[in-house]
């Protein structure tokens, strides 16, 4: 039996096409027509909120495979009995790498240097650094672990991993629980959020959380926008007490007239942490493997409950 698969690009269609797979190019955000009947949808997260519901109107759908780790956007739109998988293993490195870029760019004042370059203004800057800083990583899943390993060679004064529950790893590393945040936050020069969005993490980074961060500290978010209370963050940025580097925001996409764009000390990238050629290569490999398993009647990898 031929497996009918909706894919977002012709590149994916070429990669997965085979004797038992019919690839149909259909992009959940950009294709104006309704989706044709299909067994599997391979999709990225739609940019426009209203397009998320299109998942529920695909005739014959049996499985959705996400070109990402995060699945919060789709859970409320999944038809009954349709299974869901993600691209775990393809995006963690790219996201951690982008997190490092945001941290270093913000600490070393690269946005300010870029403005000076456009003005032809040779004015050397004195900056903070990752070397000698205390860095708290909030979230110790796939992305958090990859970020942690990249931070270590920069010789921070301390690295503090925090997860939902405290535990000690086999190598003796202490993972702190979120209940310890009130005591840990005042120590950190940099706080990096790598958490997914769910009921337990929504607005975890709220006014009380931010108030406990030390003056001049940097908040980096490479997890999900709704983990951070945007209004509370805006208040701290507007006062000049904290800085931020954000790849994700709430709302998202960030409206052109939103005050976060112009908030002092805030560096913003448009949810692009996973957007690399290497991610596409790895995600394509995972997708091909997934479709092969489904066509053979085997359980898909990386199922999301």
User: What span, in angstroms and rounded, lies between the C-alpha atoms of 103 and 112?
Assistant: 14
Judge whether 162 and 181 are in contact, CB under 8 Å: yes
Express as a percent the part of the chain with pLDDT over 70: 100
Task: Assign 20 a pLDDT band (cuts: 50, 70, 90).
Answer: confident
Task: Specify the pLDDT at position 127.
Answer: 97
Judged against a pLDDT cut of 80, whether residue 1 lies above it is answered with no
Task: Specify the pLDDT at position 143.
Answer: 96
Task: Assign 37 a pLDDT band (cuts: 50, 70, 90).
Answer: very high
Q: Which of 22, 44, 109, 252 is catalytic?
A: 252
DSSP state, residue 180 = G
pLDDT by residue (tens digit) across 281-304?
A: 999 999 999 999 998 889 999 999
Q: Domain spanning 3-90+276-295: which superfamily?
A: NAD(P)-binding Rossmann-like Domain (3.40.50.720)
Pairing relationship of beta strands 40-43 and 21-25 according to DSSP bridges: unpaired
Half-sphere exposure of 288 (CA within 13 A, CB side): 14
The pTM for the full model equals 0.92
User: What span, in angstroms and rounded, lies between the C-alpha atoms of 257 and 243?
Assistant: 20
Q: Is 271 a catalytic residue?
A: yes
Domains in the chain: boundaries: 3-90+276-295, 92-268
Judged against a pLDDT cut of 80, whether residue 102 lies above it is answered with yes
Task: Specify the pLDDT at position 210.
Answer: 98
User: What span, in angstroms and rounded, lies between the C-alpha atoms of 236 and 28?
Assistant: 37
Judge whether 274 and 296 are in contact, CB under 8 Å: no
User: What span, in angstroms and rounded, lies between the C-alpha atoms of 74 and 86?
Assistant: 11
Measured at the CA of 163, the angle between CA 157 and CA 169, to 5 degrees, comes to 75
Task: Assign 134 a pLDDT band (cuts: 50, 70, 90).
Answer: very high
Task: Assign 188 a pLDDT band (cuts: 50, 70, 90).
Answer: very high
Is 92-268 the same fold as 3-90+276-295?
Answer: yes
Q: Is 224 a catalytic residue?
A: yes
Average per-residue pLDDT for the chain: 95
Span 92-268: which CATH code? 3.40.50.720
Task: Specify the pLDDT at position 6.
Answer: 96
Averaged pLDDT for residues 207-233: 98
Q: CA gyration radius for the chain? A: 21
For 241, the token pair is 């007490």
Q: How many helices, marked H, and strands, marked E, lie in the chain? A: 8, 13
């Amino acid at each position: 039996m031929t497996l009918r698969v909706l894919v977002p690009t012709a590149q994916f269609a070429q990669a997965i096409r085979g004797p038992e797979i019919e690839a149909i190019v259909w992009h959940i955000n950009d294709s104006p027509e309704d989706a044709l009947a299909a067994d599997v949808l391979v999709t990225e997260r739609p940019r426009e909120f209203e397009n998320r519901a299109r998942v529920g109107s695909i005739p014959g759908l049996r499985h959705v495979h996400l070109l990402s780790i995060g699945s919060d956007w789709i859970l409320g739109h999944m038809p009954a009995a349709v299974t869901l998988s993600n691209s775990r293993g393809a995006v963690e490195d790219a996201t951690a790498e982008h997190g490092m870029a945001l941290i270093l760019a913000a600490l070393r004042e690269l946005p300010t240097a870029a403005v000076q370059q456009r003005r032809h203004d040779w004015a050397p800057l004195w900056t903070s650094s990752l070397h000698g800083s205390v860095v708290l990583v909030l979230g110790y899943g796939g992305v958090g672990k990859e970020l942690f390993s990249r931070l270590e060679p920069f010789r921070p004064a301390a690295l503090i991993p925090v997860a939902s529950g405290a535990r000690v790893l086999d190598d003796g590393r202490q993972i702190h629980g979120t209940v310890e945040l009130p005591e840990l936050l005042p120590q950190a020069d940099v706080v990096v959020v790598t958490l997914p969005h769910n009921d337990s993490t929504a607005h975890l980074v709220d006014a009380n959380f931010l108030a406990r961060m030390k003056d001049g500290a940097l908040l980096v978010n490479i997890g999900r926008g709704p983990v951070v209370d945007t209004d509370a963050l805006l208040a701290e940025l507007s006062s000049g007490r904290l800085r931020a580097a954000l790849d994700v925001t709430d709302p998202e996409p960030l409206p052109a007239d939103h005050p976060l764009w112009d908030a002092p000390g805030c560096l913003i990238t448009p949810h692009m942490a996973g957007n690399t050629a290497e991610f596409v290569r790895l995600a394509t490999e995972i997708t091909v493997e997934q479709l092969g398993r489904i066509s053979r009647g085997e359980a898909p990898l990386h199922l999301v409950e």
